[in-house]
Structure 1
């Protein structure tokens, strides 16, 4: 019966690694989207406010034509980037990525806790594992709709291997950094 418990403990640790890797992917996405939307918002407010402040302060400034033309070019570029952000759904992707990172981090922690300190009976372990697995399966289905790339998967794998100090199945190395390697499983991102 110990073999059954050991099998479920291994499954718990594998699931923890994958959930942590997915959390890492979506945390990276959330950080990138947050920086991009913050910059977009800042430029969208700073340019008109700066021009308005200059007009109010300097009044009949001789180079207003150049200042307004420069501001208009910046505003046009910002408008194009803003349109791109709407088409790529940045406003929707940011909260999703943050929520997914949090949910997957929680799953990873709970799988790891179950693998580290399982209940004594196989049936109790199986029941707890299945509960977590149902939640994990539902989370993966939602995350898979978000077009996770192969590069992101390799990056997530490296993050999970590094977090849980496990060797890669291909290169047999335990990652110590998030620097990409030449490995086709935990590198090349």
Structure 2
């Protein structure tokens, strides 16, 4: 037992209780006597007072140390915020890769449709101009007529392929998908630094973006993206966001095939 004098009265207390009371008094006195402008209150000069539990553990705990429960809560919140931000960056990278894939498809369909238009308009126009200039003698020129007939056969074949493979519809979808995925990538990239703030507005915005991304991904999956296209788009995204490949651990600096099966398996 220890003697402790409070307001002139002597009390006999257990040593652990006495130490706890002294610790609480000193902590309250020190914090209340130092304001934010006091030279005594510095981050690198924190007063330390041993707590009863700390004495048993053989260590000291500073006055400015937050409770362990607070640390656990803050750590959990920070971890969740980091996970949300990482999710935004991952989805931005995936959306950018998908946008590149369908942008490439749109260019390919545009070239095919342009060729079909040139053949459909150019061949009859040129033949008509030749007949108007040279008269019916053109019809007796067998090499020229063979060339015109060959171009006509090619035009018919491309027209049939365009109808069967639905080039106009595929071209329109590829343009829409590229534009939508670019918008989603920009939205996720913009939201990533702000989603660290755990607010209902940010959570709702994130969930709405995820729902839009999932719907777009489902539509894009129906277009049968090949593994070669995925690797090509993935390499574009890694270079754009300066990320290293999970397989070869390198950050791509160009869009060339490599030995990596994940970011370089394309032609």
User: Is 1:106 the counterpart of 2:183 in the alignment?
Assistant: yes
Tell me which moved more, 11-20 or 78-87. Answer: 78-87
Partner of 1:34: 110
Partner of 2:82: 6
Number of residue pairs the alignment of both structures matches = 189
Unaligned runs of 5+ in 2: 1-76
- Kindly name which structure, 1 or 2, has the bigger radius of gyration based on alpha carbons: 2
The answer (yes or no) to whether the contact 1:5–1:125 under 8 Å persists in 2 is no
Report SS of the residue matched to 1:5: helix
| TM-score of the pair, normalised by structure 1 | 0.95
Partner of 2:98: 22
Offset, 1:123: 4.0
**Could you give the per-residue CA deviations for residues 127-182 of structure 1, whole angstroms, max 9, x where no partner exists?**
22111000000000000000100111111111111111100100011111111211
| TM-score of the pair, normalised by structure 2 | 0.68
Give the helix-richer structure, 1 or 2.
1
Offset, 1:187: 1.0
User: Is 1:148 the counterpart of 2:225 in the alignment?
Assistant: yes
User: Is 1:157 the counterpart of 2:255 in the alignment?
Assistant: no
Q: RCO greater where, 1 or 2, for CA within 8 Å and sep 6 or more?
A: 1
Report SS of the residue matched to 1:77: helix
Partner of 1:132: 209
Aligned residues: CA RMSD = 1.4
Unaligned runs of 5+ in 1: none
Partner of 1:180: 257
